[in-house]
Structure formats: C-alpha cells, structure tokens
Chains A and B, each alone.
Chain A
Amino acid sequence: MIPMNMVTPPPDVVLISALQSKLVAALRPILPEHALLWEPEDTIPYECDGLAAYKRMPLAVALPETEEQVAKILKICFEMQIPVVPRGSGTGLSGGAMPISQGLVLSLAKLKKILSIDPFTRTAVVQPGVRNLAISEAVAHLGLYYAPDPSSQIACSIGGNVNENSGGVHCLKYGLTLHNVLRVRGILMNGEIVEFGSLAPDAPGLDLLAIVMGSEGMLAVVTEVTVKLVAKPRLARVIMASFDDIEKGGNAVAAIIAAGIIPAGLEMMDQATTRAVEEFVNAGYDLEAVAILLCESDGTPEEVAEEIERMTKVLEQSGASGIRISKDETERLKFWSGRKNAFPAAGRLAADYYCMDGTIPRRHIATLLKRIQGMEKKYGLGCLNVFHAGDGNMHPLIMFNGADQDEWHRAEEFGTEILEACVELGGTITGEHGVGIEKINSMCIQFGEGERESFWGVKSAFDPEKLLNPDKAIPTLSRCAEYGRMRISGGKLPHPELERF
C-alpha cells in the first residue's frame, strides 16, 4: 500500500509535550548540553529554511558534534519511531529542511571540519557542515578548487549540496554535485554507517551514490563527503552581449552550443533584472537591451583567446546589438556582479520575492519568457528573469508583498503556473533547488502514479519505516488526489495545514 505523508492535523498539545519529554530524555545522555535544544526560544530559528514562507516547530533540535553521536541519535529515533529532518546550513529554497511537528531536526552544522586535502589525488574529505566556498578557499593555494558553485555558496553546506545535487553558474562545463563527488559516507535511519561510491572510478553493486545525490535528506544522513578538486583555470574572460529581442537572445544560446562550444558559464538576464541590478551594482549593463547574455570562457590563455573569438562570432551572427569583452579580472567580476546580485536587487524592488527553479530545453527559453510576461499581467505581479541559460535552468523571481495574503496567494499560483509550463515544454519543476515541501504538489503533475509509487519503493529500500524526512519531495497518492480536486475547484492554498509567515 502507498504510505501516507499527508501532514496530519495538529495533534494534542499534551501528547506533543509528552513525546518531547521522552525524546529529550533519551537524547540527553548522548549529547552535550548545548547540543540539544527544545525550548521554543531556542528552536524557533529552525522553524524554516531558506523558504521562510513555510514554517513549523519541531519537538527538538539536535546538533551533534561527531559521527558517532549522529548514529546514536538516529538509532534512538528509529527505536522511538520519531521522524528526523536532517538540516545543513538552512539555505535551501524549497523547504526541504522544514521541521515535522512530531519530529526531531538533526542539524549537521557542527560537523564542519575539512578532514583531509590531498593535492596529488585532487580530493578533499570534508564533513557535511563545511561550507561550499570554504572548500575552494582551503585548496586555492594548491591551484585547485571545488567546481559546483551554487549562488548560496558562501553559506550553503556540502551536505546540503549532496542532498540537493546543487549546480551553479559553472555546471554546464564542470557538472553538478553528482559529477564532483566521489564518495559519500552516511548513516541509514537505523543507525548503520555506510559508504556510497568510492575513491575508485566505480564501486560494486548498483550505483547507489547516484540515487543518494539529490535525495533531499530522505535516504541517509550524510556525515562525510569526498569531493573531487579540479585545476583552477589560468584565465577566465566573459563576454557581455546585448539583445534587442528575447527570441534572438534565446537563439544565441542554442547557436553557441550548436557551434561546439561549452562555455564555462552562460547566463541570461532580462531587462527588468538588468535595470534592477544596475542601480544596485553599477556593472555597466546596457539598459536598453531586452536581454543580456553573459558568456564565459576559461582555460589557458591560448584556449580562452580562441574560444572568445569563436563565441563573439556566433553572438554577432545571432544578432547581438552590443558586445563587450572583459579586459581584466576586475571587469570580469564587475560583469558578473549584477548576475550574482539579482536576488538582493529583487529584494529592493519588492517586500518579498519568490524564486522559482524550473528547467526547460534551451530552445524553449524565449517561449517560456513570453508566457511569463503574460502571467505577470494575469496575476498582477512583476517578475525578474535570471537564469542559467546554458542548461535551461530558469530562476524567475516573482515579486510580491508578503504582508498581503492575497499577493502571496497569487505569487504561489504564478509560480505553479510557471512550473506547469516547464513540464509542458519538456522540462522539469526543479533544476537544483529540490522539491522539498514547496513543490510537492507539482510532483503530481510531473510524474504519474507508477513513478511516484517507485519513488516510495526507493525510499523504503533505504528507510523502510519512512522516518527520514518523510513528508518531503515525494507526494502520497492521497495528496495528489487532493491536489487534483483542489486544482479543479481552485482558490485553495497549496498547504492549508501550514502556518504562513
């Protein structure tokens, strides 16, 4: 039978507090005092992750400092049948680390040591709480770096990256987390320590590492990650191309790829975005351009010179109305500064913004952008479009005022319609942010019943009792049925069971 992950109505307060006392009593002997929180004033920072719209209070928060403590915590929760929500830095944008009211939040933030760095084999072994950028910083003197660079890389942790299979600006050329992690050490819900993958090019049996990647904390708790380090390119230069037409910009992306070039980064911003960020960063963007394309080449100086020349030619042939090439590193960073600051810029334009994450085949970029323009009118909300054009991963930022319940409601519907368009155009509802709690209903659209049942089969293979982050990513049959009815009747909130703001 299909298990339930529908969030049940809030249970009796007395029951919850009894459960809390039992859990705290069981965990206290194995954790230092400061590593276990249960008073509401201590646990409130954990009520949500980077998606602040959805929040819930957990029974308790555990902050283990060793792998052994993690294993013991899991074993105890397993025996008590208490669900566990693993949490990294809490920067996730899909509510994947949102607590379960009768569950424990297991923060891996204190496991933040870089255990070893081996320049000869180009690998580093790190604990899950190590920040993404900290790895690159720690190996910079060796001429190496860790390639995946999600926008949140200053704060996000490698454990979180593994669970979301994070990408970033450079993943077109350098791959996702999946392509840059060799081995993951983790603990199953029953407390057993296991290793997925290997330092060797492959490992015995089915490729379980591949399925653990991006599994949103539902299959195992990550305690150690061996990452691949790559040589830092000697040089990087970026072309900034302006287009007076969104279609031309979209086609230029396809033309570059068709010309046999894999740029190190290929990003696009629409006019609304460039105008918003220019005010903020003064990057020198062409404000008359309908779309701006940032196209980066990296490698040896010879390679970069050759590639920049080829890319320039393609961009000119694609009808770019203006082309600028970064002269030096300072200018390159300046060109990028706007792209990297799109989110804070959106924050200046509106009280709140809702970041979407669909992926579509490159050839449909212009189609989707035009549809989004229509949706802006339909929902009466503005939208900034910044995206990883090279891999078709769109990040529309829907702007709204969260104090206005109706605006938030419209923003959510706007977002859902974008995701439905992504699926219709042959894409997916999430490229790198994960399903979490946010897009769990959209999973009903992207996948049929058979696929969803298989996902539950995968889940049960790792966690037969369904205790590890069980209410995320994979909707139950009944949730999808409910969602189907809701879509027909309309006007209902996607998560009526959750407290809003």
Chain B
Amino acid sequence: MNATNPIIEAFREQILHAVKNKTPLSIEGGSTKSWYGNSNTFAKLNTRTYSGILEYQPEELVITACAGTPLKEIEAALKEKKQVLAFEPPHFGEHATFGGAIAAGLAGPGRISVGNFRDFVLGARILDGKGQDLSFGGQVMKNVAGYDVSRLIPGSMGTLALLLEASVKVLPKPAATATIRCQISQEKTLRILNEWAGQPLPLSASCWIGNTSDDGQLTIRLAGAAAAIKAAIPLMSSPINASELEPQSAEVFWNELREHRLPSLENIAADQTLYRLALPAACGPLTIPGASNEMVLEWHGQQRWIKANGDEATFTSIKQLATSHGGHATRFKQGMNVNPAFQRFTLLSEQVHSQALEAVQERLRSAFDPAGVFATKRLP
C-alpha cells in the first residue's frame, strides 16, 4: 500500500501523537459544516492536504478520490461525463470536501428516489485509531467479502476513523428533468406524494413549504427518460393544478433547497434552532408547539425542517414527537445565542429498541479506535 505517502505519514504521526497525549482529534475538511454535530474544542486534523481524484472511469460508474478533494472538483469531473452524485450531497460552502461530505453523510433532494450517501459508498481507505492503514470494500457494486465497514463511515462524523479515500458509485445524469409547482395543503401533499411513489412515475424529489394549517407551495421534480417525463407532466400536474417551472429557475430552486439558502432554512434567529425531523412515510402533518408556523418538508415528508426556540425544553418535545412517530430529531443548526454545548442528536438510549445498541456502538468504536483518538462525541 501507499505507506510511504508523506501526507498520510503526517496524518499517522498526528494520530499516534494523539494516542500518546490521550487527546482526541477533531477531523475537518473545508470547515463548511463545522457547525454540524456536537461541538468540541479538540485539536484539528485537517484533510485538505490529501486531495485529488485517484480513479474515475465513467463506464464503471464509480469515482475514487482522496478525502480532501474539493466536492466541486468531483462534481465537475462527473459533469463532464454527464454523471452525478445522485443523492446530491449539500456543500454548505465553497470549500466542502469529498471526505467531509461523506463524514456528514447528508443528502439532498434526490435522496428520496435514489437512496442515502451510504447506499453509494463502495469502498474506503482509512487510518484507524492505531494509525493502521486499512482498506475495506472496493470499486465494484457487489461485494460481500467481509463486513461492510466502508458503509459505517457515512454519517459517522469523524468518530470512527480518519477517512483517507473513498470509492463512491455515480449515476448517469437523468436524460430529462422537469419541475412542476402548485399551492396545496400539507395533508394533501403527503397523501398524493406517497400515492405517486407507489406508482411507476418518474418522481425524483419533492419540497413543500408552508404553514401546517394552510396551503403551501409544493414543488415536484421529475427525472428520467425524456418520453417518460413528457408523459408524466400532464398526468401529475392536472390533479394538483400545477404548472411547469422554467428549467433554469427550477435548477436554482433545487440548489438553494439543498444548500439551505431558502429563506425558510437560513437566517436562524439568535435564540432559535433549525431542527431536522426524520420520519417514516406514514407520518401525517405535525404541529410543533412553540415553533414558527412555517415548515419545510422534503423527501415526501420524511425529512422536515422547522425553526423553533433553541432551548432544551423545545428540543425535548420535538424529539419526543419524532420518536413517537417512529423517527428521530436533530438540532441541525443553532442560532448564535444557543448554548453550543447542547446535545444535537437523539441518543440511542432514547429509543426503546436501540438501547442495547449503545454498548455495541461503543465496542465498535473502540475496536477501531481503542485510545479514543476520534472520540470527539461529535456524533454520540
């Protein structure tokens, strides 16, 4: 293996140094998502020095790159070959890295139709907490040799190992897309999107923005073969009285949604928090006591965003609400005056059938990182 790479050697030294000093390292890439997850003040290990696309063969539908590679560089390389990261990871800033996007594990509007980040990870090269250079998975779609360790990395937020390189599955850019929009209630939105999702329709993404009690704005993206889109537009527009958006403004909308640049998702007041609720498809409209009236629903209602007071009582009630519906809640982004020390996530111990997994998770982490080099608790 590439054991003599000086950049990797420097990472290893930093890890071994941390082992010796018993001080965790907080891994960062482009620092675009540093506000996400539990905060800490540990020393940083920055991955941006380890950058570059290592292998990309469009006909293999896979790209392999170093963790520090700018996400936009990856997306540009794919665009040239008319391919995409279909789950549309948000950048949240100019300098977002490939590794940072994987560690955060977040996905954009397309997630509901194509799957999560982890669904696309095929392989990973990591440095574990002992500084061992390890490779799991590979570059092929089907691989059941050994446990699927590479798929533990997405969303692990640097708490398991240092990601050096990853191979991620890519998809062809859909032959055609179209976006339709209408005014409709949240209840009707949830009903019709779930109905459509059970039919062979080219439904790609959805977003409803409005007040729970009123009609809101529903935007739907279709993607697929040109003929299928052409046939679906009238079919799906007529029952909800929707009209088609200009391609360019549609693209701007879906980008702004992904990047949280829509007014409903940005400008969080100082004492407020933007909460994320992940919910089962069966979950109907929710009313959150004390929250702003406006909600953003994505993923056919399975991801909901709401701004509300950043105090503990509010998060507790939102968590309980999400849990009672079979989901969970996150303090996604906090306002300036909200206590940065607050726990941002629903804990395994807060959900009945995941309580016993807390010990499993702890043992799993210590298997990769016995000295606690990555034990920043950024993800509990």
Q: Are B357 and A194 neighbours in the complex by a CB distance under 8 Å?
A: yes
Residues 186-220 of B, flagged 1 when their CB comes within 8 A of A and 0 if not, give 00000000110111111000000000000000000
Residues of B with C-beta under 8 A to A448: 134
A41 at the interface (CB under 8 A from B): no
A118 at the interface (CB under 8 A from B): yes
> Interface with A: B13-21, B237-245, B309-317, B344-352, which one?
B344-352
B291 at the interface (CB under 8 A from A): no
Q: Are B146 and A122 neighbours in the complex by a CB distance under 8 Å?
A: no
Give Cα distance in the complex from A460 to B198, angstroms. 40
Min CB distance A207 to B, Å, is 6
Assess A430 versus B145: contact at CB under 8 Å? Given A199-B282, A302-B227, A303-B225.
yes
> Interface with B: A13-21, A59-67, A171-179, A324-332, which one?
A171-179
Assess A207 versus B118: contact at CB under 8 Å? Given A195-B353, A299-B228.
yes
Interface size on A, residues (CB 8 A): 99
Residues of B with C-beta under 8 A to A171: 141-142
Q: Are B143 and A208 neighbours in the complex by a CB distance under 8 Å?
A: no
Q: Are B143 and A431 neighbours in the complex by a CB distance under 8 Å?
A: yes
Assess A204 versus B351: contact at CB under 8 Å? Given A188-B360, A473-B146.
yes
Residue in A204, A213, A255 whose CB lies within 8 Å of B345 = A204
B354 at the interface (CB under 8 A from A): yes
Q: Are B139 and A175 neighbours in the complex by a CB distance under 8 Å?
A: no
Give Cα distance in the complex from A143 to B225, angstroms. 21
Min CB distance B175 to A, Å, is 7
Q: Are A363 and B146 neighbours in the complex by a CB distance under 8 Å?
A: no
A2 at the interface (CB under 8 A from B): no
Give Cα distance in the complex from A97 to B144, angstroms. 16
Q: Are B171 and A208 neighbours in the complex by a CB distance under 8 Å?
A: no
Assess A164 versus B144: contact at CB under 8 Å? Given A205-B361, A232-B200.
yes
A144 at the interface (CB under 8 A from B): yes
B44 at the interface (CB under 8 A from A): no
Q: Are A299 and B224 neighbours in the complex by a CB distance under 8 Å?
A: yes
B256 at the interface (CB under 8 A from A): no
Q: Are B231 and A302 neighbours in the complex by a CB distance under 8 Å?
A: yes
Min CB distance B314 to A, Å, is 18
Residue of B nearest to A422 (CB): B140
Q: Are A208 and B357 neighbours in the complex by a CB distance under 8 Å?
A: yes
Residue of B nearest to A229 (CB): B198
Q: Are B282 and A443 neighbours in the complex by a CB distance under 8 Å?
A: no
Q: Are A211 and B152 neighbours in the complex by a CB distance under 8 Å?
A: yes
Min CB distance A496 to B, Å, is 23
Residues 33-55 of A, flagged 1 when their CB comes within 8 A of B and 0 if not, give 00000000000000000000000
Min CB distance B202 to A, Å, is 8
Residues of A with C-beta under 8 A to B228: 299-300, 302-303, 306
Residues of B with C-beta under 8 A to A90: none
B250 at the interface (CB under 8 A from A): no
Min CB distance B126 to A, Å, is 9
Residues 321-361 of B, flagged 1 when their CB comes within 8 A of A and 0 if not, give 01000111000000000000000011110110110111011
Give Cα distance in the complex from A57 to B200, angstroms. 48
Residue of A nearest to B159 (CB): A206
> Interface with A: B57-65, B90-98, B265-273, which one?
B57-65
Q: Are A201 and B302 neighbours in the complex by a CB distance under 8 Å?
A: yes
Min CB distance B325 to A, Å, is 8
Q: Which of B38-95 contact A (CB under 8 A)?
A: 57-61, 82-83
Give Cα distance in the complex from A393 to B145, angstroms. 13
Q: Are A363 and B57 neighbours in the complex by a CB distance under 8 Å?
A: yes
Q: Are B282 and A120 neighbours in the complex by a CB distance under 8 Å?
A: yes
Residue of B nearest to A449 (CB): B132
Assess A206 versus B198: contact at CB under 8 Å? Given A185-B353, A198-B280, A306-B226.
no
B363 at the interface (CB under 8 A from A): yes
> Interface with B: A80-88, A257-265, A334-342, A476-484, which one?
A257-265
Q: Are A207 and B144 neighbours in the complex by a CB distance under 8 Å?
A: no
Assess A204 versus B347: contact at CB under 8 Å? Given A118-B282, A231-B200.
yes
Q: Are B148 and A213 neighbours in the complex by a CB distance under 8 Å?
A: yes
Residues of A with C-beta under 8 A to B234: none
Assess A361 versus B155: contact at CB under 8 Å? Given A165-B144, A204-B347, A204-B351.
no
A154 at the interface (CB under 8 A from B): no
Q: Are A234 and B172 neighbours in the complex by a CB distance under 8 Å?
A: no
Residue of B nearest to A172 (CB): B141
Give Cα distance in the complex from A74 to B191, angstroms. 42
Residues of B with C-beta under 8 A to A201: 111-112, 116, 278, 299, 302-303
Give Cα distance in the complex from A122 to B83, angstroms. 29
Residues of B with C-beta under 8 A to A447: 145-146
Min CB distance B19 to A, Å, is 16
Q: Are B152 and A207 neighbours in the complex by a CB distance under 8 Å?
A: yes
Residues of A with C-beta under 8 A to B230: 302
Q: Are B142 and A393 neighbours in the complex by a CB distance under 8 Å?
A: yes
Q: Are A208 and B149 neighbours in the complex by a CB distance under 8 Å?
A: no
Give Cα distance in the complex from A379 to B242, angstroms. 66
Assess A431 versus B142: contact at CB under 8 Å? Given A144-B198, A188-B356.
yes
Q: Which of B154, B173, B345, B367 has the most CB of A within 10 A?
A: B367
Min CB distance A459 to B, Å, is 8
Q: Are A200 and B279 neighbours in the complex by a CB distance under 8 Å?
A: yes
Q: Are B119 and A175 neighbours in the complex by a CB distance under 8 Å?
A: yes
Q: Are A206 and B361 neighbours in the complex by a CB distance under 8 Å?
A: yes
Q: Which of A354-381 contact B (CB under 8 A)?
A: 359-363
Not counting A123-B281, A231-B201, A257-B58, a sample of 20 additional A-B residue pairs whose C-beta atoms are within 8 angstroms of each other reads A122-B281, A143-B198, A172-B141, A178-B151, A200-B278, A202-B278, A205-B379, A206-B379, A215-B147, A231-B198, A261-B172, A359-B141, A388-B142, A392-B141, A392-B142, A393-B141, A393-B142, A428-B144, A431-B142, A451-B134
Jot down 24 A-B pairs with beta carbons below 8 A, ordered by A.
Answer: A144-B198, A172-B141, A175-B115, A193-B356, A198-B326, A198-B327, A204-B351, A207-B118, A207-B152, A210-B148, A229-B198, A231-B200, A300-B231, A359-B143, A360-B140, A362-B60, A391-B141, A392-B140, A426-B140, A431-B143, A433-B144, A435-B145, A457-B368, A458-B364
Top 7 A-B residue pairs of the complex, sorted by shortest distance between their CB atoms: A457-B367, A302-B227, A260-B172, A199-B280, A431-B142, A210-B151, A195-B353
